[in-house]
Amino acid sequence: MKDEVKELIPEAEITKRVRELGEQISKDYAGKELHVICILKGGVFFMCELVKHITVPVTHDFMAVSSYGDGTVSSGRIKIVKDLDDSIEGKDVLIVEDIIDSGRTLQHLLQVLGARNPKSIRLCTLLNKPDRREVEIPVDYIGFSIEDLFVVGYGLDYAQHYRNLPYVGVVEV
């Protein structure tokens, strides 16, 4: 990959905000056990750091959902590539996502997971693109709201590249 990446959100800002989110989630779930569902692949970097700052008991599982392929724009077709290993029935569930733009993927996931009878479902995202929203979905915890830019780093990729950047950056192709 020969594209240039311009830093948008520095590592230190991400670290501070993830800590704040963990503290808020811990307060909101005080006295409860939380089941975190990480949306792969991009959400894993965020989830790993986030749960370090959650003080209530945490269990976790993973789902892989695809709507992008190798492009920079969602295809609109949502496919569950990897489903959960365990039941979420009766559990307080927190979905952890790297980025929400159109909202279609999360709308689909909320329907699928809601049908599995969890006690509650909330949504946490590192990045939110409200200008791209096509469907309304309840986002309970937001790391950063950003403009409609194609971003990479901190788990987000462009054709599977740049996930390992410690910051969020904009690809300049």
Sheet holding 151-152, edge to edge: 4-9, 168-172, 151-152
| Residue 160 pLDDT grade (very low, low, confident, very high; cuts 50, 70, 90) | confident
For the whole model, what pTM was predicted? 0.90
Q: Any catalytic annotation for residue 92?
A: no
Considering the candidates 92, 98, 101, 157, report the single residue annotated as catalytic: 101
Q: Provide the mean pLDDT of the chain.
A: 91
For residue 118, pLDDT beyond 70? yes
| Residue 29 pLDDT grade (very low, low, confident, very high; cuts 50, 70, 90) | very high
Q: Which one is predicted more confidently, 3 or 46?
A: 46
